[in-house]
Amino acid sequence: MKIFPWQTKKDFFTAEEQQQLVEAIQKAEQQTSGEVRIFVESKCRYVNALDRAQEIFFSLKMNETELRNGTLIYVAVKDKQAAVFGDEGIHQKVGQKYWEEEVKKMLLLFRNQKLADGICQAILDLGEALKLYFPYNSDTDKNELPDEIVFGR
């Protein structure tokens, strides 16, 4: 399903890397009620990637999770920008500095031409934070958001 009418599948990742990213999301979400999504595009329409991440977060209706514990990893490949935006439930627990540190770690791996690895590491880190504050409960948990990567322009 295409969230945006202009959404296309870009060649940012090999098929294996795409599978690796989806599996990282699924692994992270098996330990938490939290949700993780990835949005990747060529260029950031804004000067601040965090503003773009916030716009996408709300466009994808990620703020509608029951516990407000969704997180979005945003990457603008050609602009070499990234951001992590977390909903109010998780943001209140980890704070702004946590998100900034995750972005720094991702960008370090990106500089070494390891785009998929950087995102995977961020997903696993987010999974650990979400697990700490929003542990998995087999009686009540459901996958509230799709796990696939969303591609922009």
Domain boundaries, the chain: 18-135
Quote the tokens at residue 42: 């060529």
pLDDT of residue 98 exceeding 90: yes
Sheet holding 35-41, edge to edge: 81-86, 70-76, 35-41, 150-151
Quote the tokens at residue 133: 């504050």
pLDDT band for position 10 (cuts 50, 70, 90):
low
| Per-residue pLDDT, 9 | 54
Q: Hey, which residues does 80 pair with through a beta bridge?
A: none
pLDDT band for position 15 (cuts 50, 70, 90):
very high
pLDDT digits (tens, 9 = 90+) for 39-66: 999 999 888 999 999 999 999 999 999 9
Q: What is the mean pLDDT of residues 100-109?
A: 96
CATH number of 18-135: 3.10.310.50
pTM of the predicted structure, to 2 decimals: 0.91
d(CA 115, CA 106): 8
